[in-house]
A and B are shown apart, each in its own frame.
Chain A
Amino acid sequence: MDKTQHRDLLTKAYNIKQRFLAMYKMANAGHVGCSLSVAEIITFVRFGWMKDSDELILSKGHAAAALYSMLAEDGTLTEEDIQTFYKNGTYLAAHPPVNKLKRVPFATGSLGHGLSLAAGLGIANKLKKTDKQIFCITSDGEINEGSTWEAALFIAHHKLTNVVWLIDRNQLQGYGRTEDVMKLDPLDKKLEAFGFNVVIADGHDFNSLETCRLSTVNCQLPTVIVCNTTKGHGWKTYEDKVDCHYLPMKDEQYALVTAEVRNSFEKQMALVK
């Protein structure tokens, strides 16, 4: 990745994060940590990988604010739309809506549906012989759902190389750490055994994500990228704690996290000159 593209991705991720942090603050809403966890992944997929005709399924629909903020960054939503988040009469509910937003083909929020949606879009486009790629971002907690493994079997069996599955591996789920609630590791070995091209990324690092993208070129297997992330990345008070899944930000916390996001952005930009 050249420096211009890298700086562009850093800038977009920064804008996306600051926008959704403001949305959560305005709404006094939780799920902040889930969006901070996936921010670079969703930025990279949309602005570093997808063609305009491709589809993105955010299976971890509880990170909807990150999705809406990304859609504002690409011009699909307006800043006026963003202002309606969580308010009565909005389309921008806490989970993505049904048949209302361009680039949001399906409502998500009930976990374990997204990978099957991607599988269906994948096989349909394989039958139609299009060059469309389908990106699906799941959480790691939702891998508890049996339907996710049904979808994994299906994607591998049909060799749906047009499907790219990205796992936001932040090691936390609703009421505990993933390895304490329902052990997933060795996740890479399990996915390899299913028949996937498994690659591991630092889910907050664009160079790492780009390396994973390159590994899919001409790959004959469907790809899953295990994106190691930190839930609540940048919200030091609750980083890597279950609390950041649920708690809204108080005024002083909002000031701290937005400052941390800004500092981190400036440091990274300084490194990519």
Chain B
Amino acid sequence: MRVEFAQAMLNAFDRNDNLAFITGDLGYMALEKVQVKFGERFINAGVAEQNMITVSAAMAHEGFIPFVYSISPFVTLRPYEQIRNDVCLHNLPVKLVGNGGGYGYGIMGATHHNIEDIGAMRILPNMKVYVPFTASDVEQAVGQMIADKNPNYLRLNMGAKIPQEVAPFAQWRKIKDARLPDGQGTKSVVVGTGPVTEHILNSALADDLEVWVVSIFPITQLPAELIASINATQKLITIEEHTGECGLCETLSYHLMNHLTSNIKTLSLAANGYPSGRYGDQKFHQAENSLGGEAMISALNQFLQ
């Protein structure tokens, strides 16, 4: 999504004379054209993320819309208090952009992963978190972020590749129905966030699953159709490249509490860290956490029986 993000910034520059781009000394082979286009409004703030965030807050106070780019943990967790105090408490339109959410940086290791970002960001006042699903979501997400007067965080990753056509970017999208409509053949409802949802959509089990994707946090309202499907199937699977606690599973459960008509069985597929203590590429970590591969299929089969 990094390429699409850079292109979105290039396109947006011509339509907005108050955009600024701040990077935490990253963007090699991705941001060069953005740097040229933005000119003096492109600032490399160096490896100094606390200052970078607060500088951006003050620039937003002066009327700029700063997009602040780094690897995901460095633009969210490292300067967390600066984001809370200077950006969110003052409700300034600073746009944080974290590349490689989840296990996106693969073999780079745990310090470069971010499986707490959605939770950490969504609980901050005024903050909205954007989690694109496909690469083509990115430009629409960037457009919504520019229009939004509040602070935002954009989580970039590798875009999902799925056979289904996907509706325009929105908080809730139903990606596919189960084979038989009206819940008759639906073994479970799946709610996912981010590209990792593709592993279920592309699996042999997908036919019998109704699959939704949520792309903006915090969750405000649940679609009535989703609630009806969950009540009909009595089974809910959540999938996220993020910890289930404070992530999609927990926040969705909270919002569902008032809508349940029977006991719902749930399966949370989530990032649980480093079960073996070993490192690999993104797919390796996804497989270790039952977010993909045989472990995920096995967990799904067990749940769906």
A interface residues (Cβ-Cβ under 8 A, vs B): 98-99, 105-107, 110, 112-113, 116-121, 123-125, 127-128, 146-147, 150-151, 153-154, 157
Chain B contributes a number of interface residues (CB within 8 A of A) equal to 27
Q: How far is the CB of A206 from chain B (nearest CB, A)?
A: 29
Q: How far is the CB of A39 from chain B (nearest CB, A)?
A: 26
Interface digits, B39-62 against A, CB 8 Å rule (1 contact, 0 not)?
A: 011010110101101111111011
Is B56 touching A120 in the complex (CB atoms < 8 A)? yes
Cross-chain contact of B90 among A99, A112, A124, A146 (Cβ < 8 A): A99
Is A127 touching B41 in the complex (CB atoms < 8 A)? yes
CB contact list, B42-92 vs A, under 8 A: 43, 45-46, 48, 50-51, 53-59, 61-64, 81-82, 85-86, 89-91
Q: Which of chain A's residues has its CB closest to B86's CB?
A: A113
Cross-chain contact of B54 among A98, A116, A153, A157 (Cβ < 8 A): A116
Is A147 touching B51 in the complex (CB atoms < 8 A)? yes
User: Please, which residues of chain B bring their CB within 8 A of the CB of A121?
Assistant: 58-59, 61-62
Q: How far is the CB of A97 from chain B (nearest CB, A)?
A: 10
Q: Specify which of B41, B54, B63, B85 lies most central, judged by the most chain A CB atoms within 10 Å of its CB.
A: B54
- Cα–Cα distance between A106 and B84 once the two chains are bound (Å): 12
Q: How far is the CB of A162 from chain B (nearest CB, A)?
A: 12
Is A125 touching B62 in the complex (CB atoms < 8 A)? yes
Is A116 touching B82 in the complex (CB atoms < 8 A)? yes
Q: Specify which of A105, A120, A127, A147 lies most central, judged by the most chain B CB atoms within 10 Å of its CB.
A: A120
Enumerate 14 A-B pairs (CB-CB under 8 Å) in ascending A order.
A98-B89, A106-B90, A107-B90, A112-B50, A113-B86, A116-B54, A120-B54, A120-B57, A120-B62, A121-B59, A121-B62, A124-B63, A153-B48, A153-B51
Is A116 touching B58 in the complex (CB atoms < 8 A)? yes
Q: How far is the CB of B267 from chain A (nearest CB, A)?
A: 41
Beyond A119-B55, A120-B55, A153-B46, whether A128 also contacts B62 by CB under 8 A is yes
User: Please, which residues of chain A bring their CB within 8 A of the CB of B51?
Assistant: 116, 119, 147, 150-151, 153-154
Is B81 touching A110 in the complex (CB atoms < 8 A)? yes
- Cα–Cα distance between A119 and B57 once the two chains are bound (Å): 10
- Cα–Cα distance between A123 and B51 once the two chains are bound (Å): 13
Cross-chain contact of B86 among A106, A124, A153, A154 (Cβ < 8 A): A106
Q: How far is the CB of A138 from chain B (nearest CB, A)?
A: 13
Is A150 touching B50 in the complex (CB atoms < 8 A)? yes
Q: Which of chain B's residues has its CB closest to A122's CB?
A: B58
User: Please, which residues of chain B bring their CB within 8 A of the CB of A120?
Assistant: 54-59, 61-62
Q: Specify which of B58, B62, B82, B89 lies most central, judged by the most chain A CB atoms within 10 Å of its CB.
A: B58
